[in-house]
Amino acid sequence: MSSVSSNRALFLKAAEDLRSNDKQWQAYEAAGHCVLLAGPGSGKTKTLTVKLARMLSEDVDEPRGIACITYNNECARELESRLETLGIAPGGRVFIGTVHSFSLTQILLPYAKVAGLGLPDEFKVATRQEARAALAAAHAQVIGGPENPQNWDMRLGRHRRRFLNRELPEWRTLDPELTELVEAYEAELRARRLIDFDDMPLLAVRALAANEWLRTAMVAKYPILAVDEYQDLGRALHGMVMGLCFSAGMRLFAVGDIDQSIYGFTGATPELLRRLSERDDVETVRLGLNYRCGSRIVSASEYALGENRGYKAPDGAHEGTIYFHPCTGGHAGHARYLVEELISEIRERRPGTNLGEIAVLYPAAFLGDEVANAAAKHGYSVIRTDGNALYPRGSRLMRWLEQCAMWCCGGWRSGRPRLSRVVSEGARLFHETIIDEDERLTFQRDVTAALWDRRDETLSLSDWLAALRDEIIRPRVDLARSLADELGILNDFLNRIGPDGDVDDFPLGEFAGIGSGLDRLNLSTLHSAKGREFDVVILFGVDEGRLPRNNATENDVREARRLFYVGFTRARHEIHLVYAQHNPSRFVTEVQERLEGE
C-alpha cells in the first residue's frame, strides 16, 4: 500500500469516530468556509486534526499544502503529535505554528525586501535584552525622566496592536505621546537591524494588505488556512484572515470558543470570532457535548460562566464532584492544608491517583510559590507552568531538550520518544540553518552522536546541557535570525543550576521527568492551564480581589469570569475550590449558591 493510501486509511478510520456526533460530522463534511465553535472537552482538537488530514488528502493537490495557525507552541506540538498518528509528518506541505511563526517564516523572511516594508537587510529578531535597550533609548528621547522605561512596555504593545492601519487619523490623535514613543522605539529597533515579537504579525498583515501579488502567492502555496483558538489571536491575525480568505480566495477552517477568551492583555478580541461566525458566507457549527468533565461539573461550569450554553455530558458519563474548601489564615496556611490534608484525602478517595493527575491552578504566580514551598517541605515533586518556573514552558528549545533528555533516559530502549521524532523536531527548530538534504543529514548525525554518548540518567544536568549547547545549539543559533532569545533562556537556566545559581544542579533523569510529567504535582496559573485537562483540579486562591482583581472594570470582570470558567473545566472527575473563608470570589459564591438551590 502506498503512503498516500495508508494515510487516507488512517484518517478515514479516525473519521468514523466523529460520525456518532452530528456536529463533529457536520464540521468534517463542511466544504467551504467553516467556523467550529467548540466548548471545553468537546473534541475540537480531534475534529480539527481529522479535518486537516482529510483536506490535505482530498482537497489540496501536491505540492500545495495547508497552513494551521495556533495560539502557542504547546498547541502546535499537540496538533503535530495527533497528525503524526494519522501518518502526516509536520513540515513539507503542512505548516503548524503560531501566528508569529507564520508571519516570520512564511512572509517576512522570504518576502520582506520585495514587499517594501523598509526592513534592514538580514534583520534579526530582538532578544528581550535588545528590545528593552531599544525601549530605554526611545523613552529617553520622547519621555525622559527617572522612571523605569519598562513601565511603558504593556501600554506600548497594546497601542501597536490596536492600529493595523496607521493611516487612520486616530493613530496621531488618540494618544500622541504614545504614538511618538512607538515610532521612536521601532526606529531604534530598525537602526539596530531588529524586529521584535509584536512586529511579526503587524508587519505581515501590512505586507499582505499592500501587495496583491503576495496574497496570490500565499494562496498558491496554502489554499486552505486553519486557525485554532481563534478568539485568542487578535486583530493582526483577523486582518490576515479577512484579506487571504475573503478577498484572495483562501479557504478557512477556524476553531474557537468566545467563552474561553482570556488573553485580553495581549490583544485578544473575542468579538472578532463572533463576527466571523455570523457571516453569511461562513458555515458555523457549535459542538454541544463535553466529553471531558463529569456531568455535574458540566452543569456547574455554566454557573461558573454565568451563561447558559446548553452544554451536556454524553449519555453514561461519570458524574464528577465539586468540593468547597473555605480556609482561615493566609495563603501559606492554605497551601499547607492543600498539601498536607487535601491531597491525601483525594488519593485516599481515588486509590491509584498519582500527583501527575492532579493540578493546582491559581490566578497569579506568587500563589504557586506558596504551594511549591509547602510541597517541597512535604516531599512532593512539582512541575510548574507559570512565570516562576525554572524556565519558560513555552520555550521551543527547552521543550526540545526535554525530549532529548527523555530519549537519553530510557527512550532509546523503549522508543518513547523515537529518535526520528527528536531529530525532526530539532530540525524544525533550527530550520533556518537546515536548507538542504545535506544539512539535514549533518544535523541528524550530530544530534544522534551527541545523545548516544550521553545515555545516562545520572549525568549532571548542567554538564549535559552545556555539552549540547556547545556542540549542537550555539553553532546553529549563530546562523539563525530568530533563535537568539531561545539560547538566552538556556543560558539563564544554566546559570541558575550552576555553582553560583539559586537552584542546585540535579541529575539528567529528573529533567527528563519534567518533560514526561511522571509523579509530579502540576502547578500552573489559570492562563497557562488553558487547553490542558486533569483528573483532579484544585483552584487555589480564588478570592475576591484576586479573581476578579480589585477595582476591575466591567470588561475585566467578564474576562476574570471566563478565566474562572477555563480553570473549572480542566477537571475530569473532581474540582476543588480553595479560598479565604471570609473573602471568597463572587464566582465561587455564585456556583455554591446555584448548586445548593438545585
pLDDT at 519 (0 to 100): 81
45 is in an annotated binding site: yes
**Which of 1-5, 239-243, 506-510 holds the top average pLDDT?**
239-243
| Least confident residue range of 2-6, 486-490, 571-575 | 2-6
Interatomic CA distance for residues 580 and 542, integer angstroms: 8
Domain residues for the domain of 16 are 1-109+203-287
What's the grid cell of residue 176? 500622541
CA dist 122 → 110, 114, 159, 203, 515 (Å) = 11, 13, 27, 16, 35
pLDDT in tens, 359-410: 999 999 999 999 999 999 999 988 898 888 888 878 899 999 999 999 999 9
1 pLDDT exceeds 70?
no
- Single residue among 168, 192, 216 that ends a domain in this structure: 192
pLDDT at 226 (0 to 100): 97
Q: Same domain for 353 and 473?
A: no
Q: What does the buried/exposed string (b/e) look like for 307-337 if buried means 16 or more CB atoms within 10 Å of the residue's CB? A: eeeebebeeebeebbbeebebeeebeebbbb
Report the Cα 66 to chain-centroid distance in Å.
20
Residue 376 forms part of a structural domain: yes
pLDDT at 85 (0 to 100): 86
Residue 224 forms part of a structural domain: yes
44 is in an annotated binding site: yes
pLDDT at 508 (0 to 100): 94
pLDDT at 393 (0 to 100): 79
Residue 198 forms part of a structural domain: no
| Least confident residue range of 171-175, 270-274, 386-390, 398-402 | 386-390
- Single residue among 463, 484, 512 that ends a domain in this structure: 512
Do residues 361 and 529 make contact, with C-beta atoms less than 8 angstroms apart?
Answer: yes
| Least confident residue range of 159-163, 177-181, 219-223, 574-578 | 159-163
Q: Give the containing element (helix H, strand E) for 283.
A: strand 283-287
Interatomic CA distance for residues 306 and 445, integer angstroms: 56
- The stretch 183-203 carries a mean pLDDT of 96
Count how many domains the chain has: 4
pLDDT at 577 (0 to 100): 98
Amino acid at site 423: V
Contact residues for 526 (Cβ-Cβ < 8 A; gap 6+): 262, 361, 362, 363, 539, 547, 563, 564, 566, 567
Q: Same domain for 332 and 481?
A: no
pLDDT at 83 (0 to 100): 87
**Which of 144-148, 468-472, 482-486, 517-521 holds the top average pLDDT?**
468-472
Q: Taking the model in full, what pTM does it have? A: 0.91
Residue 261 forms part of a structural domain: yes
Q: Same domain for 419 and 404?
A: yes
- Single residue among 157, 192, 227 that ends a domain in this structure: 192
Q: Same domain for 93 and 39?
A: yes
Question: Does residue 71 sit in helix, strand or coil?
Answer: coil
pLDDT at 517 (0 to 100): 56
Interatomic CA distance for residues 264 and 118, integer angstroms: 30
Count of residues in the chain: 598
pLDDT in tens, 405-463: 999 999 999 988 899 989 988 998 998 898 888 999 999 999 999 999 999 999 999 99
The strand pairing partners of 5, in sequence order, are none
Residue 116 forms part of a structural domain: no
Residue that the C-alpha cell 528549545 belongs to: 397
pLDDT at 588 (0 to 100): 98
Q: Same domain for 176 and 254?
A: no
With a pLDDT cut of 70, the percent of the chain lying above it is: 98
Q: Same domain for 185 and 280?
A: no
Q: Same domain for 172 and 70?
A: no
Contact residues for 151 (Cβ-Cβ < 8 A; gap 6+): none
Q: Same domain for 185 and 314?
A: no
Q: Same domain for 229 and 100?
A: yes
Contact residues for 360 (Cβ-Cβ < 8 A; gap 6+): 338, 368, 371, 521, 522, 523, 524, 538, 540
DSSP secondary structure string, 96-148? EEEHHHHIIIIIIHHHTTTTT--PPTT-EEPPHHHHHHHHHHHHHHHT-SSS-
4 pLDDT exceeds 80?
no
Q: Same domain for 415 and 543?
A: no
5 pLDDT exceeds 70?
no
Choose among 402, 372, 414: nearest CA to 464. 402
Interatomic CA distance for residues 459 and 108, integer angstroms: 41
Choose among 196, 229, 41: nearest CA to 124. 196
What's the grid cell of residue 118? 523598509
Do residues 207 and 218 make contact, with C-beta atoms less than 8 angstroms apart?
Answer: no
Q: Same domain for 130 and 150?
A: yes
Interatomic CA distance for residues 324 and 303, integer angstroms: 15
254 pLDDT exceeds 90?
yes
38 is in an annotated binding site: yes
Q: What CATH number is given to the structural domain containing 541?
A: 3.40.50.300
Q: Same domain for 81 and 153?
A: no
